Chains A and B, each alone.
Chain A
Amino acid sequence: MKYFSKIVCIFCLMTTVIYPGCSKKELPLFKDSKAVIPIDKEVERSDCDTLVFTCIDYRFAFANQEFLNEKLGLNGNYDHISVPGSILNLVNPATQDIVFSKVTGFINFHLIKRVVIIGHRDCGGYGGSSAFGSKVAELVYLSTDLKKARQILIEKYPTLEVDLYLETLTREGVHFDKVK
């Protein structure tokens, strides 16, 4: 009871400062709050056999979409998992189970046959380029991790086809290198 009044004060402060801020509403971005996007009949499919892992990075987000839709010809027919470091959580034993619990759903529901993993240099999930010391060390580390991810996936699902790509940002655009 000694600290009761203090606890009440803190509670009051929290309700006045935090609660109104947390439940604030945003302004509508569109008229009637609705936006409609037509589905392209030619590219629409009812099944999907590819699962893609990418990193969240804003510098690569649009390049990834172009690469997957046009270069690989997937045209939006892929399940996409995008998390920082792409396969960092899959390779890390501590978080591997959580990732697998999500991936298993897709592989079973959508009958996934192919997995495409795209990693990139200077990745925030790994602590950026500076965390590796040199460019060669970074390249070796990232490609080893990508191969490790392939190994883990194939061990669990032996029939999967796994393609690995490593992308590099240049002043002209984004380059994709296939990792064998």
Chain B
Amino acid sequence: MLGKKIYAIIIPLFFLFIQCSFLNKYSLASNETESKETWDIGEANGEKKQTFSKKKSEIHYERFFEEKKHWCGTMVINCSDFRFAKATQKFINEKLGYKGDYDYFSIPGSIRNMLNKQTRKLVMDTFGISVHLHHVKRVVIIAHEDCIGYGGEAFSSHEEEYKKITKDLKKARKLMRFRFREMEVYLFYGKIIDSDGERKIEYEQIL
């Protein structure tokens, strides 16, 4: 009796597994084909965004008093660290072009608190305020190296740190999508690099 039941469970699960992997592959494949185009378009978009932000160099505060058609497009979750503050502001305002259109969360360790079970509810509820009140559709999560939230220099090597933080970022993306459906979640990892004798901050998008 039990043997038959096991087959009845295993067979649909097997089909489901295939379906899941097919769906994932399909979504990845579509991403890959589109991504080639978006690299070209990405630059065009960048130009568009730049001109858009140039036009919008001053925020028109009057629009906040008008009847609401567009609320807030983006929610940015960042770490509190001062070393990345100015660069991150530039990155969001100019490179991403979201100036004046984002809720800015800044919490020590950015997503560390979301993964910690003790503080998860409090943090998710605060994100919920932004999603329900401002109708946010897109989330940008920015983590960085040598983060106090992770205990500063707690890792033995940069590779280990990168691996751990990107893994956490991906986990945060899953949690975010699980709680807020249909949310676009963009992940970035910031690190200080030295190029041509100048210190720069590189933001790498984690896919």
Contacts and interface: CB of A to CB of B under 8 A. Distances in A.
B82 A37 contact: no
Contacts of A62: 59, 93, 99-100
Contacts of A83: 105-107, 126
Nearest to A57: B103
B80 interface: yes
A109 B149 CA distance: 11
A153 B89 CA distance: 27
A21 B65 contact: no
B67 to A, nearest CB: 15
Contact of A34 (B82, B100, B118, B204): B204
B51 interface: no
A131 B206 CA distance: 41
A162 B86 CA distance: 22
Interface string B22-45: 011001100100110011001100
Contacts of A75: 86
Given A35-B203, A57-B103, A79-B82, A18 B178 contact: yes
Contacts of A30: 42, 46, 95, 205
Contacts of B8: 5
Interface string B105-125: 111100001000011001000
Interface in B170-207: 173-174, 177-178, 181, 184-187, 192-193, 195, 198-207
Contact of A35 (B129, B148, B202): B202
Contacts of A31: 39, 42-43
A40 interface: yes
B129 A125 contact: yes
B129 to A, nearest CB: 5
B91 A169 contact: no
Contact of A29 (B75, B82, B186, B202): B186
| Interface of B (DSSP majority class) | helix
A122 to B, nearest CB: 10
Contacts of A29: 42, 96, 186, 205
Contacts of A28: 35, 38-39, 42, 205, 207
A61 B64 CA distance: 13
Contacts of B198: 38-39, 41
Interface string B3-23: 001001100110010011001
Nearest to B59: A62
B31 A43 contact: no
Interface stretch (A113-121, A133-141, A171-179): A171-179
Interface of A: 4-5, 8, 12, 15-16, 18-31, 33-41, 43-44, 48, 54, 56-59, 61-65, 69, 75-84, 89, 95, 98, 102, 105-106, 109-110, 124-125, 169-174
Given A4-B5, A80-B80, A98-B118, 4 more contacts: A29-B42, A34-B205, A35-B205, A81-B106
Interface of B: 5, 8-9, 12-13, 16, 19-20, 23-24, 27-28, 31, 34-35, 38-39, 42-43, 46, 59, 61-62, 64-65, 72, 75, 80-82, 85-87, 89-91, 93, 95-96, 99-108, 113, 118-119, 122, 126, 129-130, 133-134, 148, 152, 173-174, 177-178, 181, 184-187, 192-193, 195, 198-207
